[in-house]
Amino acid sequence: MIKPDLSLPIPETITSVHFVGIGGSGMSGLARMFLAAGHAVSGSDRSDSPALRELAALGATVHVGHDAAHLGDADTVVHTGAIWPENPEYVTAKERGLAVIHRSQALYWLIGGRRLVSIAGAHGKTTSTGMLVTALQQLGQDPSFVNGGVIEQLGVSSGTGADPLFVVEADESDGTFLLYDTSVALITNVDPDHLDHYGTDEAFIDAFVRFGDKAREAVVISSDDPGALQVLGGLSHPNVLTFGRAAGSTLRLVDVATDGPVAFTAEYGDERVSAQLRIPGAHNAVNALGVVAVLIALGNGFAESMHAVEGFAGTGRRFELHGVVHGVSVYDDYAHHPTEVAAALTAARTVVGGGRIIALHQPHTYSRTGLMFREFAGVLEDCADHTIVLDVYGAREDPVEGVTGALVSNAFRDAEHVHYEPDWQAAADYAASFAREGDFIITLGCGNVNLIVPQLLEALGRTEP
């Protein structure tokens, strides 16, 4: 893992840029925007993917695998924190004296001096970013944007607009969200996470206080989330809009119906307006209200903003349906924190009807799993009918002895509700044999667990209807 050094200078001019890890959702979105701006773009990733093929079709030079020769004539190299310091492209770029910058710095360069909305939070920021972009378009505006997931209606995670407004999903995991010159900041929630970077809950909270106070125009923040309330107490910003169920919220959520796609009613001043979303889950009513508050901060009306969020159809890897085989629905969700897992499974419960929820959980990073395995087990056991646990996706971390998926499964109160299976094909076969018509199978994790979906669908196809 490479910690971003935000003190390094960002080049004034970029002509040819190379992305180390170009296939990730954030990196591929950045690469697409550099292409749209007329720059020569190249990049590499450890494995092939649809993102690589799409970028190649747009004119990028892409490589599978990492090799110093892939740098070509690039004058600037963009990397994420997930690569290792020994990466040959990173090492050679440093040796050559090229400009080597973190992806957040590349995004800063792209934004330039435009009016910026930065969306941060432990959960919900990808959904909120996508919802804000589509709502702005519904209101006749044309923002530029970079999101952490593909926006379903648009089929992309980034885009270049004609208006002087830029919307970004800002990453708090490594502190890089403090780099941007934000005009309007949205803080969805502040559930302590990423303590491998921050060290303490207090440092995590303080980073969000600094993020909010840096905003030039307004801060929009949850009035219900305990962590957000801690941040709210530390803010000195003169223009704060709060949203949630709490009395006294600037925008107050007064009614939520979760029978299928969520519907909700909210109050702002003397106005009361109802909206019907296309996506399920009470948490998405809260996300939508935060987006409406941002739209108001940008100068839009309350009622028109409420109706503008209604058309949002979701983002990739957020409760995404991949297929139905013999009456069994297979979904994928990016949830990788106990709070997110609970939200995803609660949303699934509102639409599964009489069927069962079968969770297929891939723990993400050894540090998070070691800290939160009991919380994961409790949420999965309470919110799913049965859970299959895979092994840990280490991402940027080296393995830790004793930290495996078994740590989660062994923490279940009732062993009948869980099955630990590190072999993916065996896990897919087990899920297919356990499922029956009307059930939901949902994969959970922000690693590569979505890649098991074809195996699940194929295994279901081999079962007797």
pLDDT tens-place string over residues 340-361: 999 999 999 999 999 999 999 9
Q: Which of 76, 80, 126, 188 is catalytic?
A: 126
* Residue 76, pLDDT above cutoff 90: yes
Q: What is the mean pLDDT of the chain?
A: 93
| Catalytic residue flag (residue 126) | yes
C-alpha span between 330 and 454 (Å, rounded) = 10
281-319 pLDDT, tens per residue?
A: 999 999 999 999 999 999 999 999 999 999 999 988 888
* Residue 19, pLDDT above cutoff 80: yes
Q: DSSP character for 295?
A: H
- Are 82 and 102 a contacting pair, CB within 8 Å? no
Q: Which of 89, 125, 127, 258 is catalytic?
A: 125
Query: Is 16-103's fold the same as 112-311's?
Result: no
| Catalytic residue flag (residue 125) | yes
Kindly state the tokens that stand for 330.
Answer: 């297979």
Residue 311, classified by CB atoms within 10 Å of its CB into exposed (0-12), middle (13-18) or buried (19+), is middle
Write the CA distances from 294 to 97, 250, 305, 306, 393, integer angstroms: 42, 12, 9, 11, 35
pLDDT at 194: 55
* Residue 3, pLDDT above cutoff 80: no
pLDDT interval class at 327 (50, 70, 90): very high
pLDDT interval class at 275 (50, 70, 90): very high
Of residues 316 and 413, which shows the higher confidence score? 413
- Are 72 and 18 a contacting pair, CB within 8 Å? yes
Class of domain 16-103: alpha beta
pLDDT at 172: 85
- Are 392 and 430 a contacting pair, CB within 8 Å? no
- Are 20 and 144 a contacting pair, CB within 8 Å? no
Write the CA distances from 140 to 144, 276, 312, integer angstroms: 13, 20, 15
* Residue 465, pLDDT above cutoff 80: no
Span 80-106, mean pLDDT?
92
Question: For the chain, give me the number of helices (H) and strands (E)?
Answer: 15, 21
Q: Does the predicted TM-score (pTM) go above 0.75?
A: yes
pLDDT interval class at 198 (50, 70, 90): low
Q: Specify the DSSP element, H or E, that contains 367.
A: helix 366-383
Least Cα distance to 445 among 388, 406, 401, 403 occurs for 388
- Are 64 and 47 a contacting pair, CB within 8 Å? yes
Residue with tokens 């991949």: 322
For residue 438, how far is the Cα from the chain centroid?
Answer: 28
C-alpha span between 181 and 110 (Å, rounded) = 12
pLDDT interval class at 26 (50, 70, 90): confident
The architecture in CATH of the region 320-461 reads Alpha-Beta Complex (3.90)
pLDDT at 21: 92
**Three-state SS for 319?**
coil
Least Cα distance to 367 among 228, 173, 157 occurs for 173
Least Cα distance to 246 among 270, 226, 271, 276 occurs for 226
Span 376-405, mean pLDDT?
94
pLDDT at 114: 95
pLDDT interval class at 211 (50, 70, 90): very high
* Residue 199, pLDDT above cutoff 70: no
Kindly state the tokens that stand for 198.
Answer: 């921050």
| Catalytic residue flag (residue 381) | no
Q: DSSP character for 11?
A: P
Q: Tell me how crowded residue 462 is: count the other CB atoms within 10 A of its CB.
A: 10
Of residues 211 and 85, which shows the higher confidence score? 211
Span 193-215, mean pLDDT?
82
pLDDT interval class at 197 (50, 70, 90): low
Q: Which of 169, 340, 381, 421 is catalytic?
A: 169
Residue 73, classified by CB atoms within 10 Å of its CB into exposed (0-12), middle (13-18) or buried (19+), is exposed
Write the CA distances from 237 to 32, 209, 241, 291, 442, integer angstroms: 35, 9, 10, 19, 41
pLDDT interval class at 260 (50, 70, 90): confident
- Topology, domain 112-311: UDP-N-acetylmuramoyl-L-alanine:D-glutamate ligase (3.40.1190)
Kindly state the tokens that stand for 124.
Answer: 């919900």
pLDDT at 396: 72
Residue with tokens 């307006």: 273
Q: DSSP character for 264?
A: E
- Are 156 and 165 a contacting pair, CB within 8 Å? no
**Edge to edge, what strands does the sheet with 99-102 contain?**
61-64, 40-45, 16-20, 76-79, 99-102
Q: DSSP character for 318?
A: S
- Are 411 and 374 a contacting pair, CB within 8 Å? yes
Q: Look at 3-7, 126-130, 133-137, 390-394 and tell me which has the smallest mean pLDDT.
A: 3-7
pLDDT at 25: 77
pLDDT at 195: 57
pLDDT interval class at 193 (50, 70, 90): low
Span 146-166, mean pLDDT?
93
Domain boundaries, given as residue ranges, for the chain: 16-103, 112-311, 320-461
Percent of the chain with pLDDT strictly greater than 70: 98
C-alpha span between 306 and 302 (Å, rounded) = 6
Q: Are strands 156-159 and 144-151 parallel, antiparallel or unpaired?
A: antiparallel
